[in-house]
Structure 1
Amino acid sequence: MTATRTETEEAVARTEKELPDAEPVGSSRSERLSALVQQHGALAVLVIVSAVASLSFGSFATGDNVSNMATSSAFLAVVALGMTFVIITGGIDLSVGSLFALGGVLAAWGSQYGTLVALLLPMAFCGLIGVVNGLLIARSRLAPFIVTLAAMLGARGLMLSLTDEGADTYLVAKGSFLAELGQGTTLGLGNPVWITLALFVAGAVALRRSRFGQHVYAVGGNEDAAALMGAPVARTKVIVYTLSGVLAGLAGALNAAWLASGVTILGNGMELEAISAVVIGGTLLTGGLGYVSGSLVGVLLLKVIQNVINQIGSLDSSYQQVVSGAFLAVVVIAQTWLGRRRQLL
């Protein structure tokens, strides 16, 4: 046994001597270029589309239009922020659209008891659903698709029961602090925009500069290897699904404050929009790689495309879904190609 180990060590040493000047894979120019395209490709497309739209439509780059786009993007962006953490771990959360609608209804109902209740109630309730999702996925090892699909249906059903099948609509009192939080502006931008930016800064710091962020990447990269390194795999999964639920509830509360009511028909398909934005922003669906800033760019790109279609006027709104789907397909194909290219370099 000792002789075999010695021979192995000598073979490794000979290999290292034979390749003293070998260039590390990470320093390859082609690999760096591929990584750059994957991380900032969506930003380049956003700049190009915005520039073309500004030259083609006089009303596109106006202050009112930009402010409206930013505010309408804020709610989806908050949901996409939570989805980013989930997808980086290799999971998926299909419940966020229903949690968004439920959060809006709970916020509007709770507004009669004050702004604090209106904000904390949807965050706590939707966060609790996220905890259940995380526990079932992490501890019971159930498929995220099935667990969050069940949560999506359950949350939507609960929201409908609270509103008598949508017949009752809870209103946010005009002049209240909650209404001002959703409808007020600061420095020309809606308050939800500033809240969203603050959340993204906090999310970027948590993902890039904290031990928790390292665990998120490790779990998504290789769950078994992460466990061997001592990363709390189950706890990390529970946290990211809880975070996704809390942010979906908060987004719903901010939307209710903006609309001054808990609208029950909202949130349909939002989970797909959030996933699209995250993937377009450079996060791999297979996990292990992703960027908070990329998700924000992905949301803005989707909203700009929708706004351009509205500016054209002659196109039906259904084209928004067609274009968004085409963008998503192109991005996934590009990510797969870039991933294989980086493996070969």
Structure 2
Amino acid sequence: MLILHTLTGNKKISKAVIAPAEGIADRLATWERPVVTDYELGALLCAALPAADAAIEPGVYKAIVDRLSSFHLISPAKEFKSGAVFQLFGRPKPSAMEVACAVDPFACVTHLSAMEFHGLTDRFSKILYLTTPPDKEWREQAQERMARDLGQHMAVHRAARLPMLRYLGFERVEGVRVELMRRSSRGAFKAIKSPSIRVAMVGRVFLDMVREPDNCGGMQHVVDAYREYGSQYLSLILDEIDRHGKPIDKVRAGYLLESVCRIQHPRIDGWKDFAQRGGSRMLDPQGEYAPTFSETWKLSINVPSLLTDGRAGAGEHPPHAD
């Protein structure tokens, strides 16, 4: 049983506490992420128990955190609630993306930040765009993650009242402002080992561009990205928007691919079935309605650069793409 001795008012750590602290220190030496959360430290403590049903006495978790801190192996991350997130000794300064993905295990880098990661923009955004599940879904995923992480130690973890896996809200990380979107459908993403982040797949990024252009540098920047990279990533764009795009997403993307990128493809032709008249249907969902109109896509072309751009004409017949 882990115990904490108190003598003459000063806490002294027994060997039973030193041993798990050293084990946790060894694990942190090879920790893949740039920070560690209080939940993860508690899970490491459980993993260091000599038996699945071994008890953890009150005060032991704090004693171990204090010991690791006293040797400067961990230090509080100032942008989070005190005691919730710790930086690791000897690590190079991490990116905001790395820290955010370490603190929120269900968040992924999206929108303009994902465009930057995939080389779809030459902008260096001062905002980190993240997408994570809504509260209820986040809590459900957290319960599933804890069950996997803790396994047979779940009961001991709860009995000791160790920190739970919970959502840690943050508005800035590593000095970068965070724009967080809560979405049930985050779309496909991939986990990168170096840097240790999760980032939206390319096809999903192109879908987000037409769905939320204001989070992707604005509609004009979206037009430029489609024009420059639409042909290169055509198959990924078609697959993602076919599967997950709403009718209006298909109309907007179809217009951009056909009339701006000058691509003709049977799957794009199929999206024309989703075109329908309506005064609220605009290429830029956040823009003002413009009288210039695509008869093919039943869409107000409310992007100034496209009003005089001959390539944007709805009646053109672009070359066929294989």
- TM bin, normalised by shorter chain, reads under 0.3
Structure with the higher strand share, 1 or 2: 2
Q: TM-score, normalised by structure 2?
A: 0.23
Which structure is higher in RCO with an 8 Å CA cutoff and minimum separation 6?
Answer: 1
- Which protein is bigger by CA-based radius of gyration? 2
Structure with the higher helix share, 1 or 2: 1
